[in-house]
DNA sequence: CACCATGTTCCTTG
DNA sequence: CCAAGGAACATGGT
């Protein structure tokens, strides 16, 4: 579920649930996820710690800890990779097949689940040191954005995905922001005009903020227990046969037929949230000419060749 | 069987 | 030094 807005929504959801809870036990089901630590190092490092708070930095979740004794880690850093999820479950329920790490919190269990195991959970904080500025931070003024972009000749889309340039932009919102700013994803970064750059920063913030606002009000299925359309993203919800449901700690699993029907007009207003992503061949919502899909840095980019020059 | 997937990192080639 | 391409990680959906 990862990209800045999804992580932000998740953090807001988790913070009140985890604050003040004590970690009674930890089980590492997939050693790869706690790299560079070893599985056996994890329980002695974390057990007995109290979770003091949860925050976000770029696409990372940062859990502040009060360790049981000095010298032990004071924060845990999580990354969801492509398919990571985090949620609470009552103990006694079966842990999901792809649980990577589980925490015993007493009455319930905090689960980091990740089908592809690209995610991470670590107290090695070097990953945070390499990050560029937060796109939503007040500190990121126009000049700071210009400085971050630099004089690179790389295509702007590829540049936006570089976490050391700007932290938190992923493949979906990069395409979305460029479309809103009417800048071609292929444009060399150093050939973006001042006006375009200003538009782009604005578009980035708008896209991210809207997604957060939207995600905060949307019934989300953090546990992934509901039938899904495969994306878990806000934008295509309503297209598929079901709609994700909110799952606080332990709400009842959604009955799969209770979602809105698949008609866009009946829909829930989510239908047009993503204007270009995953819309290859569909008409651009501004000019109605077809959206195109191209490959940049081995990843799909979607854009309107007519609107974005 | 084919191809695709929200992410990151490392390696090679130009 | 930089850009671009590919592969790797691992699993599942269409």
pLDDT single digits (tens) A25-62: 999 999 999 999 999 999 999 999 999 999 999 999 99
CA of A66 to C1' of C4 (A): 45
Cα(A117)–Cα(A58) distance, integer angstroms: 19
Judged by C1' against the alpha carbon of A79, the nearest nucleotide is: B7
Is residue A3 annotated as a catalytic residue, yes or no? yes
What does the alpha-carbon distance between residue A30 and residue A21 come to, in Å, rounded to a whole number?
23
What is the per-residue pLDDT across A265-292, written as a single tens digit (0 to 9) for each? 333 434 358 999 999 999 999 999 999 9
pLDDT digits (tens, 9 = 90+) for A230-251: 345 444 443 333 333 334 344 3
Q: Output the pLDDT for position A136.
A: 93
Question: Does the annotation mark A2 as catalytic?
Answer: yes
Q: Tell me what pLDDT residue A225 has.
A: 57
User: Looking at A21-25, A138-142, A182-186, which range is the least confident one?
Assistant: A138-142
H or E segment at A211?
helix A194-217
Q: Are A95 and A16 in contact (CB under 8 A)?
A: no
Confidence (pTM): 0.88
Catalytic site residue A210?
Answer: no
- Which nucleotide is closest to the Cα of A153 by its C1'? C3
CA-CA distance, A303 to A284, in Å (whole number)?
9
Alpha carbon distance A258, A242 (integer Å): 7
What distances in angstroms separate CA A62 from CA A11, A40, A125, A132, one per listed residue? Answer: 9, 22, 10, 16
Q: Which nucleotides of C are covered by protein (CB under 7 A)?
A: 2-14
């Amino acid at each position: 579920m990862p990209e800045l807005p999804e992580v932000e929504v998740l953090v807001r959801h988790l913070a009140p649930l985890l604050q003040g809870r004590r970690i009674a036990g930890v089980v590492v089901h997939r050693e790869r996820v706690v790299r560079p630590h070893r599985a056996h190092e994890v329980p002695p490092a974390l057990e007995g710690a109290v979770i003091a708070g949860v925050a976000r930095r770029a696409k990372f979740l940062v859990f502040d800890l009060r360790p049981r004794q000095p010298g032990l880690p004071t924060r845990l850093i999580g990354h969801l990779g492509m398919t990571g999820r985090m949620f609470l479950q009552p103990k006694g329920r079966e842990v999901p097949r792809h649980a990577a790490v589980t925490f015993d919190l007493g009455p319930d269990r905090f689960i980091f689940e990740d089908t592809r195991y690209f995610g991470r959970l670590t107290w090695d904080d070097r990953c945070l040191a390499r990050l560029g500025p937060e796109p939503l931070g007040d500190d990121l003024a126009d000049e700071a954005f210009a400085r971050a972009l630099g004089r690179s000749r790389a295509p702007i889309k590829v540049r936006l995905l570089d976490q050391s340039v700007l932290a938190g932009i992923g493949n979906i919102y990069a395409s979305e922001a460029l479309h809103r700013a009417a800048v071609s994803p292929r444009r060399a970064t150093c050939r973006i005009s001042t006006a375009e750059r200003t538009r782009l920063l604005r578009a980035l913030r708008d896209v991210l903020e809207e997604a957060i606002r939207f995600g905060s009000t949307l019934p989300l299925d953090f546990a992934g227990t509901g039938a899904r359309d495969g994306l878990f993203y806000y934008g295509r919800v309503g297209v598929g046969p079901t709609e994700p449901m909110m799952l606080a700690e332990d709400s009842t699993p959604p009955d799969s037929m209770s979602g809105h029907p698949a008609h866009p007009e009946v829909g829930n207003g989510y239908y047009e949230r993503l204007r270009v992503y995953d819309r290859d061949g569909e008409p651009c919502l501004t000019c109605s000419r077809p959206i195109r899909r191209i490959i940049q840095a081995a990843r799909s980019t979607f854009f309107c060749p007519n609107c974005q020059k």
